[in-house]
Amino acid sequence: MSRELSARLLGELQQLVLIDPHTHINPHAPASKTLADIMGYHYYTELAHSAGMAKHRIEEAGLDPKLKVGRLVEWLHHLDNTIQVSWLVELCRKFFGFEGDRITPANWEALYDRAAKKMAEPDWEDQCLTQSGIERVFLTNDFDDPLTGFNSERYIPCLRTDDLVFHLAKPEVRQRLAKATGHEFTNTLGLKDSIGKLFEHFKKHGAKACAISLPPWFSPRNPGLSEVRGPLHRLLANEALSAEEALRVSEFVFWTLAEYCVEYRLPFDLMIGVNRRVYREGVFQGQDLFDQRVSLIQYQELFNAFPQVTFPISVLAQSSNMELVSYAWIFPNVVLNGHWWYSNIPAYITLDCRSRLQAVPRSKNVGYYSDMYKLEFAWPKFQMYRQVLSQVLAEDFVIARGWTEEQALDLGQQVLRGNVEAIFGV
Amino acid sequence: MSRELSARLLGELQQLVLIDPHTHINPHAPASKTLADIMGYHYYTELAHSAGMAKHRIEEAGLDPKLKVGRLVEWLHHLDNTIQVSWLVELCRKFFGFEGDRITPANWEALYDRAAKKMAEPDWEDQCLTQSGIERVFLTNDFDDPLTGFNSERYIPCLRTDDLVFHLAKPEVRQRLAKATGHEFTNTLGLKDSIGKLFEHFKKHGAKACAISLPPWFSPRNPGLSEVRGPLHRLLANEALSAEEALRVSEFVFWTLAEYCVEYRLPFDLMIGVNRRVYREGVFQGQDLFDQRVSLIQYQELFNAFPQVTFPISVLAQSSNMELVSYAWIFPNVVLNGHWWYSNIPAYITLDCRSRLQAVPRSKNVGYYSDMYKLEFAWPKFQMYRQVLSQVLAEDFVIARGWTEEQALDLGQQVLRGNVEAIFGV
Amino acid sequence: MSRELSARLLGELQQLVLIDPHTHINPHAPASKTLADIMGYHYYTELAHSAGMAKHRIEEAGLDPKLKVGRLVEWLHHLDNTIQVSWLVELCRKFFGFEGDRITPANWEALYDRAAKKMAEPDWEDQCLTQSGIERVFLTNDFDDPLTGFNSERYIPCLRTDDLVFHLAKPEVRQRLAKATGHEFTNTLGLKDSIGKLFEHFKKHGAKACAISLPPWFSPRNPGLSEVRGPLHRLLANEALSAEEALRVSEFVFWTLAEYCVEYRLPFDLMIGVNRRVYREGVFQGQDLFDQRVSLIQYQELFNAFPQVTFPISVLAQSSNMELVSYAWIFPNVVLNGHWWYSNIPAYITLDCRSRLQAVPRSKNVGYYSDMYKLEFAWPKFQMYRQVLSQVLAEDFVIARGWTEEQALDLGQQVLRGNVEAIFGV
């Protein structure tokens, strides 16, 4: 009974057209052109490398796309158990008429050609979105993105701020900031102004969120200006900062971002817990990991200081989910946001989805985002989430608590779509 | 088959009359008088506030109880997914003849009146306990509670010691202590004696446990008297203590409590992991959270030093459950105690219950306590636990390990009731 | 359907003959002689002690084996819920014709005698292995083990190195090292040479891994020789080392082991997270626990520095599993290895098995090892794992992802056996 019920709920939830609230889509090239764009997604390159494929076979300069796919396919039999490869197979079946259950050295080439032909159709982007049931897509824009030349009804800008908070000591970052704002800052006030100009620019172009990913050791605080002046001076002089000095600058920029989120009424997406470049010889985007010893208690000052700002929060470690549930249960401005990266597999989504639906107000739960780089991934990733969600709704709500199917669907629709509209104001 | 089996076990377990081994019941006013008493439980106020309800709408001075309920009901549709609201609906259905599945602006007032009428019956306290299948209830008493004027067969005193360990620097706490013991302590020995007097008083009035909640950073140790004397002197002089000095005093008082638990043969309930006042503008009792970075290794000296004391332990973070299971598996004096606060939702209880039943001697497992403030909550909370327990017994014992239903029920009865009797000596 | 399917998969997986990649078998006395050998396994003594049995009743000098079993049996009714006792009952049913479901004061003596008779058969070792479906067994050898006098086709040596890394300050450890290598080292280079000789010896005798268990606070690094010389000198002079100095020596020895793993092409099994002697009055081998606050980030330098070494990793805390999954997903040289000790119960294996199969290349997953001290335990422990594995394969692969049963079995066989052969080169 549970299985039929869950399938029925899934069927209904698949009808709902969605807004994807966090992606890395390039709005100037949102869809793939070949399977190399699709299989170039770091999940496949890093897993193939993890299984033994040499990095240079993947990242060789000038590598022909088709050759690259052929090489990756040789390693897929080591990865076919992974949910990530199931996304690949599912999207090939949905979009490219693939009928197998494995992509192999024997069948990949025909698939490659068929896919390339399909993706060459001039309206492929539209087709893909329509078939995927996605109508709007949040972007992750560099702070100096001009935000022009794309359909801003469909693609919603989002100000990504990692570079500002953690890499302001790099001259090129400051140069980009100067160019974007028409102003070279020389002190704390000037830096604040420059950041303000970015918010103004983004807000004018329809941005719906400010976002950042944060290492596990970061703990936001509002440093006094006197603490920041010295380090900022030295940074502007291109002197090497101590770890403590660099932290003062990061704290200052971060706190300034939160202040502008108040002024510009933007949610501040926090993606908490990633250590960058842990595996230094890893493939592109396949080097980052984490330290589970992180706590949302590190954010208590922030949450207390900015009651007017909504913080949609993603955590990287599954062991952080319970804290996230509890903080969202208590703090009005803390909101659940999707299932991030290493947590984005059915085993963990199931545990997390269940606790979130049982303990956090339903209006504070953004169920899922795809985090995709190319549009073709929205469908299989959201589908994975919908399957988990349907099962949890069936078991925990309809069966265990006697809800009607309509009530359960209503809850499902709210976390899949309604809350994205309400929380991000789209 | 699993579902029918589980329902059968649940039916049997519901017959068992229970002792509730940890509550916050006021024995002078154990039952509610109106729905405002019930919906004033911090779970509803904090969740409504988390969903957007302004604090002053809840905590306005002199707010009429009925008006307060009406205001809270306006927010229930944001919370109806939570297990906490399901407790509310279930108790209204059980006790007050409520027939709906949602409490809404359209139906709450009739419910309010019906409930008030029911609760005005002179024997409501008895009715409620009988219908709930509860015969004895542990209290959480301030150290200066006179412990008189209530039925001490039904309500079992328990010495709560947070104030002594963490707030002795407050003059009012010391005044309360002086009044309760008839003695103003002026040094470490005097403080020991005062604490001893409290144990004597509580033991004489039938106390069955000493209890405390502890922050994640606390690590019990036995400080030398020489380490404590200075800080205690400064404390008595109302001088401000450094964090280190305050910690010495806390360690000393805590260790003294454990020593008296030996002398007075009392279990020492440890509720480990809460940070107080994390959300400073939160509603009453809706401000506390936690830091998952805590370990029972912090308690190794305590567990080694006091083999004669039983420590029933509750952990706040679900990620601490595995440590708790492992420490209870190894240390004879470490006992499992219920599912506390943020861990008290079916998603986490299921995981925790399963591991506890698989790996810890059955005699060391106190399955559940309600933690209630008003008697009406025992039934829905224990019922939630019984549902999880029945399912785990069905799946992990009867189906997976071939136990008979009688064997499974026997295990269920032991963790629900037998161990409460054996461990607390009631 | 799920249950029948899972039972079918289990039936097939039971046919597979296995290699057990981590045990504590003594190859000179691999099988038990009486139930006392079996019930002397620390799981039973520590659980009985935890439930209240006095340590001296278990560890009394010269205690008659049969008397010891009789005493332990008196406590089994407190433990019969544990999965560990289910192993005991299952092996008695399988090997000794036991027909009950509980071992009790009324039936244990007949069982004891029947078991003793069975185990006295001259080919009991062979019978036990054949019935258990085990053909080769990894050992855990002291670094000074001569590695002779046993069937090295069946029993595969493994160099255990805890003593070298953490106890070199003990004169007896250095004496054992001198005796084993025929050389007393007097400086860092001499120590390196001595360790090299151990590798040579072990490799010559067919060792297939180097192994160590590590405390949660350890973080491998390559200390400069200049950092190590002083501490090593003082150690050789039997002076007491500070914690920092001792750590330098540990780091140096550990790093040297990794270097020799390159040279001798041996996988380096890391068993991460155990604190020794936490419960100081515990029974033999029943004193160790852990601190969940550990992270694989502590191993990042090691994993980066030794890309040529395969690190099969076991973690003690279940909360570490997600890090392990993620690190194995990214680092080519990090491999999953079994379900260790406190994590080795169905509740945790299920969660861990599920995430591992969903997110790590299938070729990097060593599903299980028994960790046994006596051969009789391989069967019930592997059987417990096979039951979990079958259920995960049924639910997550056949049902949720539409795999054929053959595909699912193929995956199951790879993690049960194929990867042991491929990763350890047996």
Q: φ, ψ for residue C134 (rounded to 5)?
A: -120, 130
Q: Is B110 in CB contact (< 8 Å) with chain C?
A: no
Residue B191 to chain C, least CA–CA distance (Å): 30
Q: Is A348 in CB contact (< 8 Å) with chain C?
A: yes
> Which residue of A41, A292, A390 to mutate against C (max C Cβ within 10 Å)?
A292
d(Cα A81, Cα C407) in Å, to the nearest integer? 10
pLDDT at C366 over 80: yes
Burial class (CB in 10 A: 0-12, 13-18, 19+), C242: exposed
List the one residue out of C296, C344, C298, C396 whose CA is nearest residue C22.
C344
Residue A357 to chain B, least CA–CA distance (Å): 6
Query: Which residues in chain A have Cβ-Cβ distances shorter than 8 Å to B47?
Result: 329, 361
d(Cα B111, Cα C268) in Å, to the nearest integer? 67
Query: Which residues in chain B have Cβ-Cβ distances shorter than 8 Å to C81?
Result: 357-358, 361-362, 397, 411
Q: What is the pLDDT, as a whole number, of residue B406?
A: 98
pLDDT at B1 over 80: no
> Residues B59-73: what's their mean pLDDT?
97
Confidence of residue C150 (pLDDT cuts 50, 70, 90): very high
d(Cα C192, Cα B15) in Å, to the nearest integer? 69
* Parallel/antiparallel/unpaired status of strands C334-337 and C365-366: parallel
**Token couple for B188:** 């470490």
> Residues A333-348: what's their mean pLDDT?
98
Q: φ, ψ for residue A345 (rounded to 5)?
A: -130, 150
> Residues A394-411: what's their mean pLDDT?
98
Confidence of residue A2 (pLDDT cuts 50, 70, 90): confident
Report the residue from C79, C101, C279 with minimal CB separation from B330. C279
Q: Give the single-character DSSP code of A31.
A: S
Percent of chain B with pLDDT over 90: 99
d(Cα C11, Cα B409) in Å, to the nearest integer? 30
Q: Are B142 and B163 in contact (CB under 8 A)?
A: yes
> Which residue of B292, B341, B389 to mutate against A (max A Cβ within 10 Å)?
B292
Q: Are B91 and B38 in contact (CB under 8 A)?
A: yes
| Sign, CA torsion A402/A403/A408/A411 | negative
> Residues C250-267: what's their mean pLDDT?
98
Interface of C with A in 269-308 (CB under 8 A): 293-297, 300, 303-304, 307
One-letter amino acid of C352: D
pLDDT at A1 over 80: no
> Residues A144-160: what's their mean pLDDT?
97
> Residues A201-209: what's their mean pLDDT?
98
Q: Is B79 in CB contact (< 8 Å) with chain A?
A: yes
**Token couple for C382:** 């592997």
Q: What is the pLDDT, as a whole number, of residue C2?
A: 87
For chain C, how far is it from start to end, CA to CA, in angstroms? Answer: 37
Q: φ, ψ for residue C366 (rounded to 5)?
A: -90, 110
List the one residue out of B305, B299, B268, B273 whose CA is nearest residue B288.
B273
For the segment C213-251, what is each residue's pLDDT rounded down to a tens digit?
A: 999 999 999 999 999 999 999 999 999 999 999 999 999
Report the residue from A82, A280, A342 with minimal CB separation from C326. A342
Q: What is the pLDDT, as a whole number, of residue B44?
A: 98
For the segment B293-307, what is each residue's pLDDT rounded down to a tens digit?
A: 999 999 999 999 999
Q: Is C329 in CB contact (< 8 Å) with chain A?
A: yes
> Residues A167-196: what's their mean pLDDT?
97
For the segment C74-90, what is each residue's pLDDT rounded down to a tens digit?
A: 999 999 999 999 999 99
Query: Which residues in chain C have Cβ-Cβ distances shorter than 8 Å to B362?
Result: 78-81
Percent of chain C with pLDDT over 90: 99
d(Cα C176, Cα A379) in Å, to the nearest integer? 62
Confidence of residue B2 (pLDDT cuts 50, 70, 90): confident
CA R_g for chain B: 22
Report the residue from C295, C330, C362 with minimal CB separation from A81. C362
Q: Are C260 and C199 in contact (CB under 8 A)?
A: yes
Q: What is the pLDDT, as a whole number, of residue B243?
A: 97
Confidence of residue C1 (pLDDT cuts 50, 70, 90): low
> Residues B197-206: what's their mean pLDDT?
98
Task: Compare all CA atoms of chain C with the CA of B331 and give the residue at the minimum distance.
Answer: C50
d(Cα B232, Cα B256) in Å, to the nearest integer? 14
Q: Are B100 and A404 in contact (CB under 8 A)?
A: no
d(Cα C379, Cα B117) in Å, to the nearest integer? 64
Using DSSP, state whether B310 is helix, strand or coil.
coil
Q: DSSP states of B156-182 as a string?
A: E--EE-HHHHH-TTSHHHHHHHHHHHT
ipTM exceeding 0.95, yes/no: yes
How many residues belong to chain B? 426
**Token couple for B117:** 């009428």
List the one residue out of C193, C275, C268, C187 whose CA is nearest residue C225.
C187
* Parallel/antiparallel/unpaired status of strands C210-214 and C268-272: parallel
d(Cα B221, Cα A252) in Å, to the nearest integer? 39
pTM of the predicted model, to two decimals? 0.98
> Residues B25-54: what's their mean pLDDT?
97
Long-range contacts of the stretch B219-225 (C-beta < 8 A, 24+): B219/B298, B219/B299, B220/B251, B220/B254, B220/B255, B220/B258, B220/B298, B220/B299, B220/B301, B220/B302, B221/B251, B221/B255, B221/B301, B222/B251, B222/B255, B222/B301, B222/B305, B223/B248, B223/B251, B223/B252, B223/B255, B225/B188
Residue C105 to chain B, least CA–CA distance (Å): 18
Q: What is the pLDDT, as a whole number, of residue C283?
A: 97
List the one residue out of B260, B232, B253 whose CA is nearest residue B165.
B253
CB contact under 8 Å between B322 and C345, yes or no, is no
Three-state secondary structure string covering A48-85: HHHCCCCHHHHHCCCCCHHHHHHHHHCCHHHCCCCHHH
Q: φ, ψ for residue A235 (rounded to 5)?
A: -60, -45
Query: Which helix H or strand E contains A226, and what residues bound it?
Result: helix A225-236
> Residues C358-372: what's their mean pLDDT?
98
Confidence of residue B266 (pLDDT cuts 50, 70, 90): very high
Chains near C, with 3+ CB pairs < 8 A?
A, B
